[in-house]
Amino acid sequence: MSETNNLYDVIIIGGGPAGMAAGLYAGRANLKVALIERGMPGGQAATTHLIENYPGVESVDGPSLSMTMHKQAEDFGTEMITGDVEKIEDAEKKIKKVITSRGTYLTKTIILATGAEPRKLGAPGEDELRGRGVSYCATCDGAFFRDKELVVVGGGDSAVEEGIYLTRHASKVTIIHRRDTLRAQKILQDRAFKNEKINFIWDTTVEAIEGDGKVQKLQIKNTKTGETGEYPCDGVFIYVGMEPNTGFFSDLPILNESGYVVTNDKMQTKLPGVFAAGDGRETVLRQVVTATADGAVAAFYAGHYVELWEEDQA
């Protein structure tokens, strides 16, 4: 597709909960809005087997909630575009360019809802055995390990929740954590401690992942004693934090030292007409409920910006 003169009011980059909420609110405000997503809608939410802390919904699987959000945004007029965003040009100008693998789109405002992705452990063998026993998504890959012995690395909500989920398939799940206490919510900890299939290895890091074509064992190290050893397993699921998906616009002066987008409480960045929402934003909590709230706020103020933009052109 060549560059088009079709000017959008809002272009949302990213189809997770923040992006889809922004699309819903922008569409309901009768703005001309497009959402660009490189893959399936939902972001990290779509890889979560069970969401229990979204108000008004007792529990729902992540893929179902993601598809419902997608349909809502689309029903209210959000144009869905599949493609990779490669660059943003003229971000400081009134008409901004979003350059994608499918062409260039022009817009008055941009909402960056690019989210975050699982942080790698950085251990030898991790990249080589990814997809061969190394995974970052229990919902995606858990069923491949029926009656196998698995390891989960991490101690936060995702590690514990996904460890619990993996017990549906695995014969045994071992959670390896570098500290002696979990960081997960108390309700998740209680469930894990009561689950007979789950055991814990404390104060331990994974130094290497080894196997002949597939994961067979881990090299581990006790952080207090320095003692090393091997731990056999059939797969390892890694949950050691997230990294923001902000690389393609790292040249814009809107990121903090960790690569997250800095905004005010209106989701505005320091660039006029550029907003951000969700897990890729500098924030204290990264949950579906906060991402959707961010998206709603960003769309609301993007709409105000468009009104001022049009008044200025009159």
The reply to whether 279 belongs to the active site is: no
List strands edge to edge, sheet with 149-153: 134-135, 235-238, 149-153, 172-176, 198-201
DSSP assignments along 138-193, one per residue: HHHHGGGGTT-EEEEE--SHHHHHHHHHHTTT-SEEEEE-SSSS--S-HHHHHHHH
- Can you list the pairs that 248-252 forms with residues at least 24 positions away whose Cβ atoms lie under 8 Å? 248/85, 248/86, 248/87, 248/88, 249/87, 249/88, 249/91, 249/112, 252/88, 252/91
* Pairing status of strand 217-222 against strand 228-232: antiparallel
Q: Catalytic pick from 127, 140, 180, 251? A: 140
Active site residue 233: no
Tell how strand 103-112 and strand 7-13 pair up.
Answer: parallel
Gyration radius of the chain over CA positions: 21
CA 291-242-177 angle, to 5 degrees, is: 125
Q: Which structure tokens are listed for 18?
A: 């923040």
Please say if 141 is a catalytic residue: yes
Distance CA 236, CA 98 (A): 38
Catalytic residues: 137, 140-141
